Structure 1
């Protein structure tokens, strides 16, 4: 490998104090990788390379283990490695490729870094094989293959049925703890099985998550058409926030142009609302706070609260992990008085009192547009206004905004552009109503801050998603439908709108083995901040763990966490008053759909007439569908592709049977 431009390279020398033998071993590994002719299509066997470089027992060499594993992951993703620099090895990120085919191959390779090892795990293999093994249900043998539709049968039905529109009858099934009435499988197991067929690894997501199955009532066992999942959103997506209009600078500029009494009253009300949702008893009892400070805050009171927040933050990180994890089971007051939430409450109260102290002169005796204009012209007041807006956005981003984190069709339906059907159904009234019903309950974080149950708004106003590839998304492209299909007004449309392109950063290009090595190194180095992966500590625990490990190596985490993938950001606007409802200025959403409409039939009819029917008459599409067979030997695109290593123990042919597709 050669470097085209040394200015793009990052030094990845081992940190000062690393034993010389480890530095020499790491340099041997770098030299071997830099001079090798690696095929981008082939996975790198890290254990083989570690042995070739003579790294030895890595368990007792945490620095070398973290560095070597991180290096392998990055090289496998196309990073350029050079050892020509006299002060140590250098790495440069892979260049973006204009060829969409090449770029898609690189992204798949990146995703398979985590997916393939996952599919090799004994527990995952047992799960997949158990789903594929026949079991008795209501006097008949069933397997997960009963939940797949034979492609030949579907193709034939579409070409011979008097009414092709009746050949597929899609409906939504919200995944909960119940079982499938036609196979006896847990709904979540069905969802998990088909999720393992995706290019990226299956994983649970923190926060809210509502898996969804799209099934076909036209088949005996109601075959799975596709999967979706509505989950807690990424907190900050610039393209999304600017489009909604609730980005801090965008919002303030609009307010400056058109100030109103309503906005002034809302901002003043935010201060009172924040104060009303902070548990104060222990702060008052410990004399950290005086009752008069709530109405006449001083700089001294604010400083005491910040010091208290830092003191309890450090205590939290020294608390045994068993006690930290117990927080999730404690009653609200006990959660509030834990070191974690004592720290968060003191810091939040300090911020709120500072805002009150600064903004009170502008909002007295009554909040009005004139006072708001004056506040916007004052530097200190504007800082506090920005904080209030960010807090309001952060409070509601996870409750009225959601991400479509899983969305797609499985074979053979995907040949008919059924991914568009899944996308439309995933944001339909039935899903919106199910989400509200599921999350109309106390918020864990807000209730832990208040010491009492606090319920947040759960009526969705906006759903965003991203493409897997930056070159485009055939699934979301041109995906729009009349609002009337979902019970809305006849003159409105609902659509997946392209909001922009985001070159994100994250940890998808690091294997679990590498993350474990980085976590171990950070602990050995005595990281002050411990990531416990418990609620309340903050978002993206995996990301924070990797950051700490890279910091322990002395490597630039901001650069190495850039996975080099451009993604298209899409948004689905569900309400007319998007910005004002999403921020809480308007108390109720003005929906573009009928949130009470429970029947999804009209969406299925729209999809087939707009997309499915056109493909059902194309010979190439029909032929591609027929390749998905449910007779021996079973060859079906909806089957989990377990790796076939020599050490694998795969199910035998006799374990399968021809699924009934009549």
Structure 2
């Protein structure tokens, strides 16, 4: 286990005496409860037990109290001495099972809060309630497979091909013909069975179901979702070879005419994809500044960016921004948000052109590239240009596998590996390319015209929930010829490294709202409007602003204390050069035009994993424990928490 560490978390100096006393009462109460005692207590129960009163009129106390409750609920401990409370983060266990249980407890904090919400409970109960579809009554239980029936079907079919017939179905806004449910609602229901809370993902997102055609209603085997990736992960970027410093070293050791042309192209494209009409009309720029940039023009653009950034945060017209027509790109470009982003981006583009263009424009040459690499000022611009190119492509040719797993009873047959393989199949790659070959919202708003970004994926990355290992992704490789590739190659999940990252999964929505309210009251000029394009992770920014308003150490409290394993599935052989746009065409490791890819992968999985596991006694027992007879005791049913959790005892109650 890790060494203990204590962090003093007090209310800000100048807080009212009554609030300081209330916060101290809460901390003492949190300190006296054992870990098992405090599990499942709601925020309201803790607030009542500590006699904190109406927290709406005490925003500082509200933010501190809710954050403290969350920290303790997910494993932090509290000690109170004469100077105040000291919080200690949970220790990382060397024991694999103990560490998994610690992380699972942390994740259940937000998940159970979510499942207690009346709207979520109504949704779950509505999906479980039978409804008329055609000439039969249907509920979500018809999309779960009885474990005994599955076990018997496998025994009756040694090949498994008739017992389980998987296929991928994109969970869009259409209706399931077999049940009458919206596909998105089917996906959402089973997503609520995960250990962590369900959340929508900003940017690109393509949820999918893996279903079983061998059952009457095509039972759900598992879920997956491909979404916009985390923009920067050092381990992933280094493994790909496009981490900025690494790329520049390669550029220095192996310069070429091709790379010179790419650098020149990036200089021109970076500038050309920025709308400048209003900047010229308003006199921020002169036409000559675009071809012969000056330090003065760059300075004016930076000032314009800051002016409109402040106006965006002071603006009371967020509703008007959201009501702009989807494809009204100039109208979007001229909002304060995108005016600020455009001016800042153009300032950088012109600075790069002014310095780097002297070597590579109008005609890029190998000698020009070599000379530029000997100039420290130019190398700095090359670094920024490479970083910009990576930032532009990271969300288009790379995706994260944000959801991936099997549900009961299929999970006992290692169907998580099936779902992982199908999530990067030719079927999914083709569907992703078709869905996202359309104008990019941010790029089009920056350009004032429709800009279509690349939609052919080069890499799909993911992380394990547990740092102790992932049985789902471990040894998950299959021959490339299974999906039409070369027989001497393989496709699968490579381990890229380990990461101890920041996050907000250990803070509930209650805490986030309280922290945001405090930050807004303290500084009304700082706003997180959750507008697409405003920035990465609105939730993270809200928590960070609130913790800063309390004067608490944000970096320490945003560490969720989990080491995670990073995995990546490279889909092309020219990974770095295609991902950066040096190569215009991806060299796929598979045949992306295959129409029977799902069947091929499923047969591989049956022979490699499922049929072997199905012969094991403990697997049979686990499978058969999932029954659909009433009352339904099935592992794929959403575990709604009880609404009757006991409240913690107040200090006075403990004294009695």
TM-score band, normalised by the shorter chain?
over 0.9
Match of 2:157 among 161, 175, 194: 161
Bigger Cα displacement from structure 2, 32-41 vs 51-60? 32-41
2:568 equivalent to 1:594: no
Match of 1:252 among 242, 248, 252: 248
> Partners in 2 of 1:85 and 1:363 — Cα distance?
66
Decide whether the 8 Å contact of 2:519 with 2:526 is kept in 1.
no
- Measured after TM superposition, the shift of residue 17 of structure 1 is 2.3
> Partners in 2 of 1:243 and 1:162 — Cα distance?
41
Aligned pairs for 1:100-499 within 5 A: 100-161=96-157, 163-320=159-316, 321-327=318-324, 329=326, 331-364=328-361, 366-499=363-496
> 1:654 corresponds to which residue?
none
> 1:81 corresponds to which residue?
78
Q: How does the TM-score come out when normalised to structure 2? A: 0.95
What whole-Å deviation, never above 9, does each CA across 1:294-350 have from its counterpart, x for those lacking one? 111111100000000000111111111323433474611111111111111111100
> 1:621 corresponds to which residue?
619
What whole-Å deviation, never above 9, does each CA across 1:588-618 have from its counterpart, x for those lacking one? 1000011111211111100000001101111
Secondary structure, aligned partner of 1:518: helix
Decide whether the 8 Å contact of 1:333 with 1:452 is kept in 2.
yes
Match of 1:558 among 551, 555, 558: 555
Bigger Cα displacement from structure 2, 228-237 vs 318-327? 318-327
- Measured after TM superposition, the shift of residue 265 of structure 1 is 1.4
> Partners in 2 of 1:45 and 1:646 — Cα distance?
10
2:609 equivalent to 1:607: no
Secondary structure, aligned partner of 1:98: coil
> Partners in 1 of 2:450 and 2:371 — Cα distance?
37
Decide whether the 8 Å contact of 1:69 with 1:517 is kept in 2.
yes
- Measured after TM superposition, the shift of residue 445 of structure 1 is 0.3
Bigger Cα displacement from structure 2, 74-83 vs 486-495? 74-83
> Partners in 2 of 1:54 and 1:183 — Cα distance?
50
> Partners in 1 of 2:352 and 2:82 — Cα distance?
52
What whole-Å deviation, never above 9, does each CA across 1:98-150 have from its counterpart, x for those lacking one? 11111111111111111112111111111111111111111111111111111
Change (3 A) 1:428 1:305: same
What whole-Å deviation, never above 9, does each CA across 1:188-235 have from its counterpart, x for those lacking one? 111111111111111111001111010111111111111000101011
- Measured after TM superposition, the shift of residue 396 of structure 1 is 0.6
Give structure 2 stretches of 5+ with no counterpart: 647-656
- Measured after TM superposition, the shift of residue 165 of structure 1 is 3.0
Bigger Cα displacement from structure 2, 550-559 vs 75-84? 75-84
> Partners in 1 of 2:26 and 2:339 — Cα distance?
47
> Partners in 2 of 1:647 and 1:43 — Cα distance?
6
- Measured after TM superposition, the shift of residue 6 of structure 1 is 10
> Partners in 2 of 1:143 and 1:418 — Cα distance?
23
Q: How does the TM-score come out when normalised to structure 1? A: 0.95
> Partners in 2 of 1:158 and 1:6 — Cα distance?
50
Change (3 A) 1:205 1:290: same
> Partners in 2 of 1:242 and 1:527 — Cα distance?
40
What whole-Å deviation, never above 9, does each CA across 1:80-113 have from its counterpart, x for those lacking one? 3232363x32223222111111111111111111
What whole-Å deviation, never above 9, does each CA across 1:420-451 have from its counterpart, x for those lacking one? 00000000000000000000100000000010
Change (3 A) 1:325 1:268: same
Change (3 A) 1:111 1:350: same
> Partners in 1 of 2:60 and 2:160 — Cα distance?
62
Give structure 1 stretches of 5+ with no counterpart: 649-662
Instruction: Report the count of equivalent residues.
Output: 644
> Partners in 2 of 1:14 and 1:173 — Cα distance?
51
> Partners in 1 of 2:72 and 2:143 — Cα distance?
40
Match of 1:531 among 524, 528, 533: 528
Bigger Cα displacement from structure 2, 403-412 vs 378-387? 378-387
> Partners in 1 of 2:231 and 2:128 — Cα distance?
38
Secondary structure, aligned partner of 2:523: coil
> Partners in 2 of 1:575 and 1:160 — Cα distance?
40
